[in-house]
């Protein structure tokens, strides 16, 4: 088996398509090499080795060591340097690289191969002793930290103390002799803490680092990240070993990161930062403040530190050229890392840049305009779930802004919440139902859970490419980073900014679009849905087959849904209309009446209210289909609970409170979700559905007359499991239709269908379809009844299922295709066998979940229906599913 793939000098054994085997970083290093770009030579150990290593108790396949040796020889040939040599030694970097970029894993070890001997050789070869010892001490610290598990703070303490004792301020104040002395201290620290010396054998170092990368695939942080991002464990990570190039070889050397376009806004402008005389990790760590790449950005930022364009014009020019070539080649915005060693540019990484949804939209639309991609490709480039970000609020421009600090606009959107200082606090607060802003000096991969729990993130250190910024953008959370004037005292639980001392629990607002930190909770505005968003939606609509409807019963929701592009109502839950002021008493009267006559009296009060509701919905939907579901929930939801409520109903009905109390007790159910609800109510009290049907038909006639648009209501019977139930209910509806037609002397067009939300209904769908004219899959109940899992109680224990991996996803969020999905397929097939062209839709929460929408496309449903705010997500998901 081939376990190792080399690259460098304009050639590579791999290509960009080999991400599964080489990981993202490895595949792209190979591709850049093939493109003839300046990439330091190296090799990639495949993800298959990771899988092997995990499966074989951290052992390697026998062929691996000779293949690594051969690859090292190859690198030696290309660089003219030998690993571990006493003269001009080859040093390497070792980096992890999974198929998807994955924070939480071992990241990088630089300068590997240095020891007490080779450092002397390096000093001689570079004719720079200080550089050599600076590199060695970095290596000891980094290797001890990520490979040997000795926290880097211990090293930093030694360094800080040394600087203090010698009156130094900057690291650059230290001389070669100083570093030499410190290296002795560092090595002693390792030996004291770990009971073994720092490894001097370069090969031992290399295999240590390789093992650390593979081992980190299974560490807790990586596992959490994979769970949150649906990354399978079986993918594994690759290891990239690459000849070192040095950004820390003096004032003509530098290192930096860049996006070929702005990852926050999508603007077509190079965006990034660099540090002179530094190594890669210095930029990301946010220890020194980086400089701007372009003059334009420098002037805009008002910085007096020179840009790369000014400082190293030649390297800058070739960098710009390479960025353009990479964009054209990959036809996507790239995120690159580079190093300049004594004026010579080297590319260390390229990948598709992570971006906000706003930027993704702009980049996609711009690239269609530039002729780089097609509209369909643009549609496929946007993560539907991310549209949520755009639909998120921004601060009302008219609102008063009491600004206490200014940081970087690291991830757009605005959020308010209580201040918390740790990720654990954030998580606890979220569980208690509180909204929080996570305030940290800087974040690390250990903060992922806190960032998830928080509404927004504020850091006092770090740039636009800091951990907090990158992760927040990925999550679509507002983030302000590097707010330097903010002082955080975690122990005292205070945050000081502009003279204000805020305590844990005080409210602040952050504006990730401007970088402002504001006092208190600030009014927000709904987002703008025109521009690139509208453009993309037009392309999506052209690409999709399924219709997208909304679940709505209030005029406000129905209107919002139409603005989001809903093509009708897929589910109007009529019971939601019963809770309104002035209605609930009538509803209670109806339930508590113990005769049909009593119920009819109460229903007569409800009729005009329901009719008015439906008129409003039909008007708003203006001829678009509207599916109205007749009363569904267990009656106990409406029962009076307090004495006051009982007294109110008692007065309205003229019935003593004691009688009502008795009746309430009699209606008690042990398991209401499987009890007296849905169509079962109509079997007991047919007059309820009769009233609702009448309200619908009368409203249809009235709305059609008002708007001139024909109204063809779709009347839906819930929780059917027996064909006879459906037929019984349908007969009542049909009879009411006849009666209204006669009264109004008008023909009424309508259809009567059912929800499929019980396994039995799915299995006998062929029978039900003999009389049902459409099906709508109620996947909330269908999930509940298929799993036998209470949808109202599952949250209490599903967490443990997800944590242990027994379930990969919450089945109430993402449709369980294997189980519930099978029932849907069966019902669709059997239903259509009886009635060709039977209209099929879904109206459970899954109708707005991208993966579930995709499944609906494969089953060939006619439409999905979801809550108003998810309509754009469903439109885009449906388009992607069809492409």
Active-site annotation, residues = 467, 843
* Residue 517 backbone dihedrals phi, psi, to 5 degrees: -115, 125
Site for ligand PEP in 751-790 (CB under 6 A): 757, 778-781
* In 485-562, beta strands by DSSP E: 487-489, 494-497, 500-503, 507-511, 516-519, 524-525, 547-551
- The DSSP result for 186-248, as a single string, is HHHHHHHHHSSPPP--HHHHHHHHHHHHHHHTTSHHHHHHHHHTT--GGG-EEEEEEE---S-
CB atoms within 10 A of CB 882: 15
How far is C-alpha 496 from the geometric centre of its chain's CA atoms? 32
Q: Judge whether 781 is annotated as a binding position.
A: yes
Distance of alpha carbon 577 from alpha carbon 609, whole angstroms? 9
Beta-bridge partners for 256: 274, 338
Closer to ligand PEP by Cβ: residue 417 or 848: 848
Angle between helices 643-653 and 584-592 (to 10 degrees): 80
Q: Which residues have a Cβ under 8 Å from the Cβ of 541 and sit 6 or more positions away?
A: 565, 875, 879
DSSP label of 516: E
CB 249 within 8 A of CB 342: yes
Element housing 733 (H / E): helix 723-744
Site for ligand PEP in 182-221 (CB under 6 A): none
Distance of alpha carbon 357 from alpha carbon 873, whole angstroms? 12
Q: Please choose which of ligand PEP, Mg ion, none residue 779 contacts, taking the beta carbon within 5 to 8 angstroms, the exact cut-off set by kind.
A: ligand PEP
678 belongs to the binding site for Mg ion (CB under 5 A): no
Q: β-strand 839-842 against 774-777: which pairing, if any?
A: parallel
Q: How many residues bind Mg ion (CB under 5 A)?
A: 3
Distance of alpha carbon 93 from alpha carbon 242, whole angstroms? 5
Q: How far is the CB of 14 from ligand PEP (least distance, A)?
A: 47
Q: How many residues bind ligand PEP (CB under 6 A)?
A: 10
**In the chain, what is the greatest distance between 2 CA atoms, to the nearest angstrom?**
104
Return the residue of 40, 513, 778, 848 that touches Mg ion, per CB under 5 A: 778
CB 539 within 8 A of CB 378: yes
550 belongs to the binding site for ligand PEP (CB under 6 A): no
Closer to ligand PEP by Cβ: residue 707 or 780: 780
Site for ligand PEP in 615-674 (CB under 6 A): 632
Q: β-strand 92-98 against 82-83: which pairing, if any?
A: unpaired
How far is C-alpha 121 from the geometric centre of its chain's CA atoms? 48
**First-to-final CA distance of the chain:** 37
Closer to ligand PEP by Cβ: residue 540 or 571: 571
Q: How far is the CB of 772 from ligand PEP (least distance, A)?
A: 16
Distance of alpha carbon 424 from alpha carbon 8, whole angstroms? 45
CB 821 within 8 A of CB 855: yes
Q: Please choose which of Mg ion, ligand PEP, none residue 532 contacts, taking the beta carbon within 5 to 8 angstroms, the exact cut-off set by kind.
A: none
Q: Judge whether 116 is annotated as a binding position.
A: no
Q: Judge whether 549 is annotated as a binding position.
A: no
Q: Please choose which of Mg ion, ligand PEP, none residue 140 contacts, taking the beta carbon within 5 to 8 angstroms, the exact cut-off set by kind.
A: none
Q: How far is the CB of 875 from Mg ion (least distance, A)?
A: 24
Q: How far is the CB of 782 from ligand PEP (least distance, A)?
A: 6
Q: How far is the CB of 571 from ligand PEP (least distance, A)?
A: 6
CB atoms within 10 A of CB 318: 17
Q: How far is the CB of 633 from ligand PEP (least distance, A)?
A: 7
Element housing 340 (H / E): strand 334-341
x/- mask, Mg ion, residues 166-205, rule CB under 5 A, reads: ----------------------------------------
Closer to ligand PEP by Cβ: residue 89 or 570: 570
Q: How far is the CB of 780 from Mg ion (least distance, A)?
A: 5
Q: How far is the CB of 757 from Mg ion (least distance, A)?
A: 5
Residue 701 in 3-state DSSP? Answer: helix
Q: Judge whether 779 is annotated as a binding position.
A: yes
286 belongs to the binding site for ligand PEP (CB under 6 A): no
Closer to ligand PEP by Cβ: residue 510 or 572: 572
CB 41 within 8 A of CB 6: yes
26 belongs to the binding site for Mg ion (CB under 5 A): no
Instruction: Look at the block and give the residue holding tokens 């309104």.
Output: 580
Closer to ligand PEP by Cβ: residue 283 or 571: 571
CB atoms within 10 A of CB 601: 15
Distance of alpha carbon 457 from alpha carbon 392, whole angstroms? 16
x/- mask, Mg ion, residues 36-75, rule CB under 5 A, reads: ----------------------------------------
Q: Please choose which of ligand PEP, Mg ion, none residue 573 contacts, taking the beta carbon within 5 to 8 angstroms, the exact cut-off set by kind.
A: ligand PEP
- Chain residue whose CB lies nearest Mg ion: 781
Closer to ligand PEP by Cβ: residue 466 or 867: 867
x/- mask, Mg ion, residues 739-758, rule CB under 5 A, reads: ------------------x-
Q: How far is the CB of 758 from Mg ion (least distance, A)?
A: 9
Closer to Mg ion by Cβ: residue 224 or 814: 814
Element housing 787 (H / E): helix 779-787
What token pair was written down for 487?
Answer: 């002082």
Return the residue of 98, 552, 764, 843 that touches ligand PEP, per CB under 6 A: 843
Q: Please choose which of ligand PEP, Mg ion, none residue 843 contacts, taking the beta carbon within 5 to 8 angstroms, the exact cut-off set by kind.
A: ligand PEP
Q: How far is the CB of 844 from ligand PEP (least distance, A)?
A: 3
CB 307 within 8 A of CB 281: no
Name the residue among 283, 273, 280, 352 with its Cα closest to residue 31. Answer: 352
Return the residue of 89, 844, 850, 872 that touches ligand PEP, per CB under 6 A: 844
Distance of alpha carbon 649 from alpha carbon 531, whole angstroms? 53
Q: Judge whether 551 is annotated as a binding position.
A: no
Closer to ligand PEP by Cβ: residue 258 or 843: 843
Q: Please choose which of Mg ion, ligand PEP, none residue 698 contacts, taking the beta carbon within 5 to 8 angstroms, the exact cut-off set by kind.
A: none
Q: How far is the CB of 213 from ligand PEP (least distance, A)?
A: 45
Handedness of CA 160, 162, 163, 164 (dihedral sign): positive
Q: Judge whether 780 is annotated as a binding position.
A: yes
634 belongs to the binding site for Mg ion (CB under 5 A): no
Return the residue of 107, 781, 816, 862 that touches Mg ion, per CB under 5 A: 781
Q: Please choose which of Mg ion, ligand PEP, none residue 455 contacts, taking the beta carbon within 5 to 8 angstroms, the exact cut-off set by kind.
A: none
Residue 427's Cβ-side half-sphere holds a number of Cα atoms within 13 Å equal to: 9
Q: Judge whether 351 is annotated as a binding position.
A: no
Closer to Mg ion by Cβ: residue 67 or 754: 754
Closer to ligand PEP by Cβ: residue 427 or 632: 632
CB 213 within 8 A of CB 107: no
Distance of alpha carbon 528 from alpha carbon 390, whole angstroms? 8
How far is C-alpha 416 from the geometric centre of its chain's CA atoms? 20
DSSP label of 354: P
Site for ligand PEP in 553-592 (CB under 6 A): 571, 573
What token pair was written down for 194?
Answer: 């770990």
Q: Which residues are annotated as a binding site for Mg(2+)?
A: 757, 781
Binding residues for substrate: 573, 629, 757, 778-781
Residue list for the binding site? 573, 629, 757, 778-781
Residues contributing to the site for Mg ion (CB under 5 A)? 757, 778, 781
By the criterion CB under 6 A, which residues form the site for ligand PEP? 571, 573, 632, 757, 778-781, 843-844
């Amino acid at each position: 088996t081939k376990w190792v793939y080399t690259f460098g000098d304009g050639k590579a054994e791999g290509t960009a398509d080999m991400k599964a085997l080489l990981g993202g970083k490895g595949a792209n290093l190979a591709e850049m090499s093939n493109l003839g770009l300046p990439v330091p030579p190296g090799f990639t150990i495949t993800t298959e080795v990771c899988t092997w290593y995990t499966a074989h108790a951290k052992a390697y396949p026998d062929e691996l060591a000779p293949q690594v040796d051969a690859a090292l020889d190859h690198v030696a040939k290309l660089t003219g340097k030998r690993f571990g040599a006493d003269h001009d030694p080859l040093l390497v970097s070792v980096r992890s690289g999974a198929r998807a970029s994955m924070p939480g894993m071992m990241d990088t070890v630089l300068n590997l191969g240095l020891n007490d001997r080779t450092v002397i050789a390096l000093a001689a070869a570079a004719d720079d002793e200080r550089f050599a010892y600076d590199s060695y001490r970095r290596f000891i610290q980094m290797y001890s930290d990520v490979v040997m598990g000795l926290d880097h703070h211990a090293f930093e303490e030694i360094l800080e103390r040394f600087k203090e004792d010698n009156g130094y301020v900057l690291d650059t104040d230290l001389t070669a002799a100083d570093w030499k002395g410190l290296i002795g201290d560092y090595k002693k620290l390792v030996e004291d803490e770990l009971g073994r010396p720092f490894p001097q054998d370069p090969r031992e170092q290399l295999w240590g680092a390789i093992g650390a990368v593979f081992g980190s695939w299974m560490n807790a942080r990586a596992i959490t990240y994979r769970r949150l991002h649906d990354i399978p464990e079986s993918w594994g990570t690759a290891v990239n070993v690459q000849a070192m190039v040095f950004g820390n070889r003096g004032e003509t050397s530098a290192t930096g990161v860049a996006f070929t376009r702005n990852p926050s806004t999508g603007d077509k402008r190079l965006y990034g930062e660099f540090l002179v005389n530094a190594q890669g990790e210095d930029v990301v760590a946010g220890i020194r403040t980086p400089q701007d790449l372009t003059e334009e950005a420098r002037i805009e930022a008002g910085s007096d530190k020179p840009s790369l364009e000014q400082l190293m014009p030649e390297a800058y020019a070739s960098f710009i050229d390479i960025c353009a070539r990479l964009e054209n080649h990959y036809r996507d915005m790239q995120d690159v890392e580079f190093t300049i060693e004594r004026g010579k540019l080297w590319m260390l990484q390229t990948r598709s840049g992570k971006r906000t949804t706003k930027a993704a939209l702009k980049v996609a639309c711009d690239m269609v305009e530039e002729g780089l991609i097609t509209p369909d490709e643009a549609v496929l480039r946007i993560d539907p779930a991310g549209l949520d970000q755009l639909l998120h609020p921004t601060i009302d421009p008219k609102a008063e802004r009491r600004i206490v600090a200014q940081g970087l606009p690291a991830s757009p959107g605005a959020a308010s919440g209580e201040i918390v200082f740790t990720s654990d606090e954030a998580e606890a607060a979220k569980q208690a139902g509180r909204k929080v802003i996570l305030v940290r000096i800087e974040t690390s991969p250990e903060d992922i859970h806190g960032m998830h729990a928080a509404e927004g993130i504020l850091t006092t250190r770090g740039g636009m490419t800091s951990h907090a910024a990158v992760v927040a953008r990925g999550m679509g959370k507002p983030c302000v980073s590097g707010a330097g004037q903010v002082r955080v005292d975690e122990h005292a639980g205070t945050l000081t900014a502009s003279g204000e001392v805020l305590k844990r629990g005080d409210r602040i607002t952050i504006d990730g679009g401007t970088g402002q930190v504001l006092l208190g909770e600030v009014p927000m505005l709904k987002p703008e849905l025109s521009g690139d968003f509208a453009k993309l939606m037009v392309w999506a609509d052209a690409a999709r087959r399924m219709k997208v409807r909304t679940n709505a019963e209030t005029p406000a929701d129905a209107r919002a849904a139409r603005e989001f592009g809903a093509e009708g109502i897929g589910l109007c839950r009529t019971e939601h209309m019963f809770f309104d002021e002035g209605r609930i008493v009538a509803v209670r009267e109806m339930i508590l009446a113990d005769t049909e006559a009593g119920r009819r009296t109460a229903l007569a009060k409800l009729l005009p209210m329901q009719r008015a509701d439906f008129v409003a919905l039909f008007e708003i939907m203006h001829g678009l289909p509207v599916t109205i579901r007749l009363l569904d929930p267990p009656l106990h939801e409406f029962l009076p609970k307090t004495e006051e409520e009982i007294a109110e109903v008692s007065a309205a009905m003229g019935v003593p409170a004691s009688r009502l109390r008795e009746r309430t007790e009699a209606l008690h159910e042990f398991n209401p979700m499987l009890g007296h609800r849905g169509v079962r109510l109509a079997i007991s009290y047919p007059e309820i559905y009769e009233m609702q049907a009448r309200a619908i038909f009368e409203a249809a006639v009235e709305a059609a007359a008002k708007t001139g648009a024909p109204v063809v209501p779709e009347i839906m019977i819930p929780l059917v499991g027996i064909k006879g139930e459906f037929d019984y209910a349908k007969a009542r509806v049909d009879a009411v239709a006849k009666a209204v037609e006669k009264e109004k002397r008008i023909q009424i067009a309508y259809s009567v269908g059912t929800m499929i939300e019980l396994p039995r209904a799915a299995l006998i769908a062929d029978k039900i379809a003999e009389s049902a004219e459409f099906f709508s899959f109620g996947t909330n109940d269908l999930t509940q009844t298929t799993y036998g899992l209470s949808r109202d109680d599952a949250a209490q224990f599903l967490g443990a299922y997800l944590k242990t991996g027994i379930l990969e996803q919450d089945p109430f969020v993402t449709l369980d295709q294997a189980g519930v999905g099978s029932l849907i397929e069966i019902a669709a097939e059997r239903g259509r066998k009886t009635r060709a062209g039977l209209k099929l839709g879904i109206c459970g929460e899954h109708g707005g979940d991208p993966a579930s929408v995709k499944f609906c496309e494969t089953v060939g449903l006619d439409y999905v229906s979801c809550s108003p705010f998810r309509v754009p997500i469903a439109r885009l998901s449906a388009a992607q599913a069809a492409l």
